[in-house]
Amino acid sequence: MAVTGGATHDRSASSNGEAYYCGTNKGETMNLPQRAPKETTFPQQEAIREREEESKKIRRLQVMMSMVMSVIGQDPSLTVEEASELAAGAKRAALAMFPDKELAYDLLYKPRLQRLIRERFRLQ
DSSP of 64-88, one letter per residue? HHHHHHHHHHH-TT--HHHHHHHHH
What whole-number distance in Å separates Cα of residue 75 and Cα of residue 79?
9
* 2 and 29 both lie in a single domain: yes
Which pLDDT value is given to residue 21? 47
* 61 and 107 both lie in a single domain: yes
Which pLDDT value is given to residue 31? 63
* 55 and 98 both lie in a single domain: yes
Query: 16: left (phi > 0), else alpha (psi -120 to 50), else beta?
Result: alpha
As a three-state string, the secondary structure of 90-108 is: HHHHHHHHCCCCHHHHHHH
* 117 and 77 both lie in a single domain: yes
- Per DSSP, the three-state class of 36 is coil
What whole-number distance in Å separates Cα of residue 53 and Cα of residue 79?
36
* 25 and 45 both lie in a single domain: no
Q: Could you tell me the strand order of the sheet in which 7-13 lies?
A: 2-4, 7-13, 19-25
Please, what is the angle between helix 38-74 and helix 110-121, to 10°?
10
* 44 and 97 both lie in a single domain: yes
Instruction: Kindly list the averaged pLDDT for each block of 10 residues, start to end, along the chain of length 124.
Output: 50 51 53 59 88 97 98 97 98 97 97 97 89
- 1: containing domain: 1-34
* 28 and 55 both lie in a single domain: no
pTM for the complete prediction?
A: 0.63
Which pLDDT value is given to residue 42? 85
Task: Measure CA 120 to chain center.
Answer: 35
